[in-house]
Amino acid sequence: MQEALARLAAAGYTGSFTVRDSQLVCPACGHLHAPESAVVHEIVRFEGASDPDDEAALFALECPVCEVRGTWLVAYGPSMTADEAAVAPKLRDGRRG
């Protein structure tokens, strides 16, 4: 995970998106927007060998308002909040047509 974060930071993904009220919050402009409007450049999934609590996803995002690039790291499974569970499935990999 640290390698993926370092690689994305070197590529300009320097902010950390957060989630509030089932919306993404831009780290630069603070704009709240629907997850469907986020520009997703990459999704990196992490799976533990046998523990479901080790599952996570790292999204490389771009704010559709100010175009800042950042990441959003979310754990899957029991530690996922209701807001995170509402946002994660709505994000789509922008590399796909």
Tokens of 35: 């997850």
82-94 per-position pLDDT tens digit: 999 999 989 877 6
| pLDDT computed for residue 95 by the predictor | 61
Question: Per-residue pLDDT for 11 more than 70?
Answer: yes
pLDDT > 90 fraction of the chain, expressed in percent and rounded = 69
DSSP state of 45: E
Question: Per-residue pLDDT for 97 more than 60?
Answer: no
17-48 per-position pLDDT tens digit: 999 999 999 999 999 999 999 889 999 988 86
This prediction's pTM: 0.88
Q: Is the dihedral of CA 2, 9, 38, 27 positive or negative?
A: positive
Task: Tell me the pLDDT of the chain averaged across its residues.
Answer: 89
